Amino acid sequence: MIAYYLLFIANQKSAISIGLFIALLITTLRLTAMMFIWLPRGISWQEAIMNSAAFGIYYLGFPILMIIGNPKANLTLLIIGWVLFLGGSILNTVSELLRKPFKDNPANKGKLYTGGLFKHAIHINYLGDCIWVLGLALISNNMYSLLIPLGLIFVFIFGYIPKSDDYLQNKYGEQFTAYKKKTKKLIPFIW
């Protein structure tokens, strides 16, 4: 609602505003479906705080940066932004949904999932997050918006990934040791 206000009430309605609002609406629908329908799970208070802060930045930061940014749209950057936004959203969602049947199967209790898209990178779902947020930054049409996905990458590299790796190592032991020896952390074939 705040993003709607910022994009349409406090600002002149433009194609960029409409596009950014649609992208934010898609994000809301996708993440709501992930949390409450496809992959309902409890989360720690730290994760709840971090996720709330991140989405506050997305729903307030991108519209504000769009409003104070360049009013002339760069069509090439908008197209690249939409491709990244949709591609990253699909990567994140599909990676999680492919893992769900494995985790739901009682026969797999105590087993580490290394299939689907996770065979290409341990944290492929985080890569999807980085890509769709980068897409939002480009859709917002303000180069300062690129600081948001850059910050997200730092949070993943220096916070979430080490914490997740420690958790996986403690929970799965040798299974995780073998998996991380042959699988990149975040970006397939690179790192």
pTM for this one?
0.90
pLDDT of 29 > 80? The answer is: yes
pLDDT at 55: 86
- Band of the pLDDT at 12, cuts 50, 70, 90? low
Residue 142 CA to residue 67 CA, distance in Å, equals 9
pLDDT of 159 > 90? The answer is: yes
Q: CA torsion sign, 117 to 123 to 126 to 130?
A: negative
167 and 55 in contact (C-beta within 8 Å)?
no
- Residues recorded for the chain: 191
87 and 136 in contact (C-beta within 8 Å)?
no
Average pLDDT over residues 45-55: 84
DSSP-assigned beta bridge partners for residue 121: 184
159 and 183 in contact (C-beta within 8 Å)?
no
Residue 20 CA to residue 63 CA, distance in Å, equals 7
Higher pLDDT, residue 30 or 48? 30
pLDDT tens digits for range 80-90: 999 999 999 99
pLDDT at 15: 79
